A and B are shown apart, each in its own frame.
Chain A
Amino acid sequence: MTDLATLLARAADDLVPEHQPFTDKVGGVSRRIRRRRTVRSVQTGAAAMVGVVAIGSSALLLAPGPGPDPAGPPAVCGESAADVLPAAGDLDGVATIQASDGMSVSTRTQLENLGDVDATTTGTVRYLVSLQGTGQVVGYSEIVPDAQTTVPAGTSGEVVTTSTLVSCGFAGTGAGDPLPDGIYDLTLTGTAQAPDGSEIGWTSATNGITVEDGQVRATTGAPDPTTDPTPDAAFEPSCGAMIPAVAENPMWATLDAPAASFMPADPDAPYQGGMSLDVTVGTVSTEPIVGELSPEIVVVLTDHDGTVVTWWRASDHGRPLDLGAAIDLPAEGSQLFEGFGWFPVTDACADDAPIADGGYRLFGWVEVAADTGAGAERYPVLTAPLDVTVADSVLTQD
């Protein structure tokens, strides 16, 4: 006879034999924490960042359109989610998408009550759809749950709701229309009541949603530059591997570093140091090309043999990913996007350590969505290499 407690203890020791098995994960966890804080828009600075990053696309990013329909909630649309959501409190949670059908989303919210008093949910649950990075609310829905949920102090409880998301009216959609295709944050918020009648606001973040062809689906996981690249990304560099190739197409691109050198910077707080990069996109087509440049950019540092040393993906670090800059190329023409690329000059493949001195090459990956009249033709583009040198953690263009 063996008791179950002994078996489990031995199994746990077999599976985790180390004394400190998780210390090498701290760097990755820290990066995800910083990103989560940014995504949840509970820190300041998002609006200022937009002003810096939206070179060439600021008007598109900031414009919520002609304004929401009177039926919409004007107090929410166009506002920053950080201004709309209640401050972080003792009632907090995480929501997951259970099912979706078109714009209809069923969510299950697990609320944790870290306070000292019981809380009972009341009234309306509001879904806020916001742009990643800026936090601007661009969609919403509201639903009154069929039943209240009481979350005793120190425990957790569930709120299950189904609601249909609608656009506030932006990016060519009207107020009340389905959301346009894109990647968004989705946050649920509501109120609960304490036994003394006081109200407690709660907020529950999801992993975000992706809208594609009018269908909402859950975005899963948070990216980690070293181990967990964005699942849906088309360009996936890997530390120590050859830089991925892209198919030939009528587009070309180059990188240029307008300033001589910059100091290293925090990869999660771009544009405070690091290297700013101009991107020129051109075409060899004898026909004009009109369309949109991806808001996504991946900057890759390789050695002279093309082996990836480290890389930085804009969407992993809070950069808005919903609308790109307009492309309007004459036949065989080109277009300059000043400051569109950025590189932190730290090694994400080595826990953001300084990059070793030496000669390297920088590449940038972007995507052009060309409007062909019959739809968008997507052209992934890898820039020509830019030879650079790192000396004392400072990067300079050769």
Chain B
Amino acid sequence: MRDDDALAELVRDRGAALLKHATLLTGSRRGGEDLLQDALVKVFAGRQGRVRDIERLEAYVRRTVLTLFLDSYRRHRRWVKVRHLVLEPDPGPADDGVERRVDVVAALRTLPPRERACVVLRFYDDLTVPQIADELGLAQGSVKRYLSDATHSLAAVLEPGSLTQEAETR
């Protein structure tokens, strides 16, 4: 399979899943698109003709999305863009479904990047704590701490006591 064909197939079949993953990490659709584009460019530019299996490609791209997101330079850029959200959080009512979905994205943006990554990997991608630790190169205890801190922060922002946290330490 040619690289262009592999790229087209990956984007066609897995583009939505990858973009959702990247969008939750960055907290915005535009940020997710930028992040995913950067990851695709990096993976395909560095592995010319070497990866033909779409599942492996997707795994490479997901990992690259994560490492790029955690890159501190980009973190700084995104921090500059979203810091007003942290300085003036909107604690508005959270009892409506649509508002809650918007709130959860805004709340995610207030988390430090590693906490945010842990939350997305655990609660959206459904990875276990050991898998997250492996993915991020962290100790399992660190992942548990990040998840605990993050879920408490999210619960406080969204609506105290509103979130179930049963899967926090699985």
Contact = CB atoms under 8 A, between A and B. Distances in A.
B130 interface: no
Place the interface of chain A in its size category: 35 or more
Contacts of A98: 72-73
A10 B123 CA distance: 12
B167 to A, nearest CB: 7
Nearest to A1: B164
B53 interface: no
A266 B28 CA distance: 34
B63 A97 contact: no
Nearest to B135: A155
Given A9-B124, A98-B73, A112-B63, A157 B137 contact: yes
B71 interface: yes
A36 B41 contact: yes
Contacts of B16: 16, 18-22
Interface in B118-154: 119-120, 123-124, 126, 134-135, 137, 151, 154
A301 B59 CA distance: 41
Contacts of A14: 98, 101-102
Interface of B: 3-4, 7-8, 11-12, 15-16, 18-21, 23-24, 28-29, 32-33, 36-37, 40-42, 44-48, 60, 63-64, 67-68, 70-74, 97-98, 100-102, 104-105, 119-120, 123-124, 126, 134-135, 137, 151, 154, 158, 162-167
A94 interface: yes
Interface string A253-293: 00000000000000000000000000000000000000000
15 contacts: A5-B123, A10-B97, A11-B101, A12-B20, A16-B29, A20-B12, A20-B16, A23-B12, A26-B7, A26-B11, A36-B45, A96-B72, A152-B137, A155-B137, A222-B41
A92 interface: yes
A32 B41 contact: yes
A1 B161 CA distance: 8
A134 B7 CA distance: 27
A29 B72 contact: no
Contacts of A110: 67, 70-71
Dominant secondary structure at the B interface: helix
A4 B48 contact: no
Interface of A: 1-5, 7-16, 18-23, 25-26, 28-30, 32-33, 36-37, 40, 42, 88, 92, 94, 96-98, 108, 110, 112, 114, 152, 154-157, 218, 222
The residue in B23, B45, B63, B126 that gathers the most chain A C-beta atoms within 10 A of its C-beta is: B45
A114 B165 contact: no
Nearest to B3: A33
A112 B67 contact: yes
Contacts of B124: 5, 8-9, 12
